[in-house]
Amino acid sequence: MTTTNIFEATVEHFLAPIMPFMNDPTVSEIMVNAPSEIYIEKQGRLIKTTAAFADADALRAAVNNILQYTGKRAADDHPLIDSRLPDGSRVHVILGNLCRSGTVMTIRKFAKIMFDAEHLLETGSWSPEAMDYLRVCVLAEKNLLVAGGTSSGKTCLLNVLSGFIPDGQRIVTIEDSAELELQKEHLLSLESRPPDRWGRGEVTIRELFRSSLRLRPDRIVIGEVRGGEALDMIQAMTSGHAGSMSTLHATTALDALNRLETLAMMSKVELPLHALRSQVASAIDVIVLTTRFSDGRRGLTEIAEVLPLDAEGHYHVQKMFEQRIVEGGGDVKQAGVLLPTGKISAFAYEPKVRLLRDHWGRAAEMFDVEKDE
């Protein structure tokens, strides 16, 4: 029996109370608030279960066993820990000295079924026009930012969008905890590393990003931008590294740009505000907003193009798609529909986009400017 198989067997032993949920493909997240208080997210809904660990020591033993897989340890001086299971599921642990109920553990399960563009159509997560529009944007090497709340489907959408990247291109992904599953042949997956118990050996997202620029990437995909690496990403996007993608937490397109600006300021590199905003507006081409609805569904609610700053130096976006309520929709899945706004794309005159005419598909109305001339 290999070391990995031994570890998998011990994980199953220590996680026995929640293994039925681990094996259930309809469960996407397991939340252990206390040894006898365990919730799951199933098909988009939170459900309190009757499962329970024997006591606090049994829960702590399970946590310690999981952390051993990634060479980490639970200690009072490092009470916040990210790890993962052998199948790739992400684990976040908060030790009892920070939480009244004791040790807390959340497991975001690894998706064994990889969704593709057609699946998102079948579930109503996006529309045929939106799919074709975003395909053109990816092929034309536009820089995309996927924004949304927690568990709104940002990573899933990033995986799907990566499927539009032409075969043969060299892709580098950078993440805190590996979640992206890009179905591409030429792929380098980089993962940051926290410091050890003595504060040594840390490798940050920002350091990985700078290193990735020397790896001759055609595309750089950052799982989530959340700190000073935002400025490095912005500068790379404006200096020839087109076609990059990332995610961040925001609820509107303008919020996404403002948040990216704030994150860039965390780099401690002093730039005049107007210069920074100009770089942000120049770097990001398209913002895609995802939302988790009250019935558990996840889908796109808005796609916007980023335009140059307005006369007062503020961000300016053009909505290309927005969700609209259809009167008498009946079926919940049809109540909100992602529809084109009727605007002509700001990229319509660019040579790269013109050469992709065969890929315009159902988004042709947004790129075909010749008919109006």
DSSP calls for 69-87: HTT---BTTB-EEEEE-TT
Residues 6+ apart with CB under 8 A from 2: none
Does the structure show a pLDDT above 80 at 196? no
pLDDT of residue 7: 64
- Residue 316's DSSP bridge partners are 307
pTM assigned to the model: 0.86
Tens of pLDDT, residue by residue over 296-352, are: 788 899 999 999 999 999 999 999 999 987 655 555 444 578 999 999 999 999 999
Does the structure show a pLDDT above 70 at 1? no
Instruction: For the sheet with 37-42, list strands across it.
Output: 45-48, 37-42, 27-34, 104-108, 90-94, 80-84
Question: CATH assignment of 3-108, given 3.40.50.1220, 2.40.30.10, 3.30.450.90, 3.40.50.12780?
Answer: 3.30.450.90
Residue 219 and residue 169 in contact, taking contact as beta carbons nearer than 8 Å: yes
Task: Select from 208, 163, 207 the least CA-distant residue to 189.
Answer: 208
Residues 6+ apart with CB under 8 A from 26: 42, 43
Tens of pLDDT, residue by residue over 209-263, are: 889 989 999 999 998 898 888 999 998 888 878 899 999 999 999 999 999 999 9
Residue 146 and residue 253 in contact, taking contact as beta carbons nearer than 8 Å: no
Number of other CB atoms surrounding residue 260 within 10 Å:
26
Reduced to 3 states, what is the DSSP secondary structure of residue 14? helix
Tens of pLDDT, residue by residue over 131-141, are: 999 999 999 99
Q: Which one-letter DSSP state was computed for residue 326?
A: P
pLDDT of residue 334: 46
Reduced to 3 states, what is the DSSP secondary structure of residue 260? helix
Q: Which one-letter DSSP state was computed for residue 359?
A: G
Q: 117-372 belongs to which CATH class?
A: alpha beta
Question: Helices 205-212 and 229-237, interaxial angle, to 10°?
Answer: 20
Instruction: Give 199's pLDDT tier (boundaries 50, 70, 90).
Output: confident
Q: How much of the chain exceeds pLDDT 70, in percent?
A: 93
DSSP string, 142-167: --EEEEESTTSSHHHHHHHHHTTSPT
Tokens of 12: 């199953």
Q: Are strands 245-249 and 298-307 parallel, antiparallel or unpaired?
A: unpaired
Matching CATH topology for 3-108 and 117-372?
A: no
DSSP string, 291-308: EE-TTS-EEEEEEEEEEP
pLDDT of residue 333: 47
Tens of pLDDT, residue by residue over 265-307, are: 998 888 899 999 999 999 999 999 999 887 778 889 999 999 9
Cα-only R_g, the chain: 22
Tens of pLDDT, residue by residue over 92-123, are: 999 888 888 889 999 988 766 667 898 889 88
Higher pLDDT, 233 or 89: 233
Per DSSP (E only), the strands in 176-315 are 187-191, 219-222, 245-249, 286-292, 298-307
What is the spatial distance between Cα 363 and Cα 106, in angstroms, rounded to a whole number?
40
Write the single-letter amino acid at 292: R
**Lowest-confidence pick of 8-17, 68-77, 310-319:** 68-77
Does the structure show a pLDDT above 90 at 45? no
Q: Where in the chain are the domains?
A: 3-108, 117-372
pLDDT of residue 185: 85
pLDDT of residue 113: 62
Higher pLDDT, 360 or 210: 360
When the pLDDT of each residue in the chain is averaged and rounded to a whole number, the result is 87
Q: Which one-letter DSSP state was computed for residue 17?
A: G
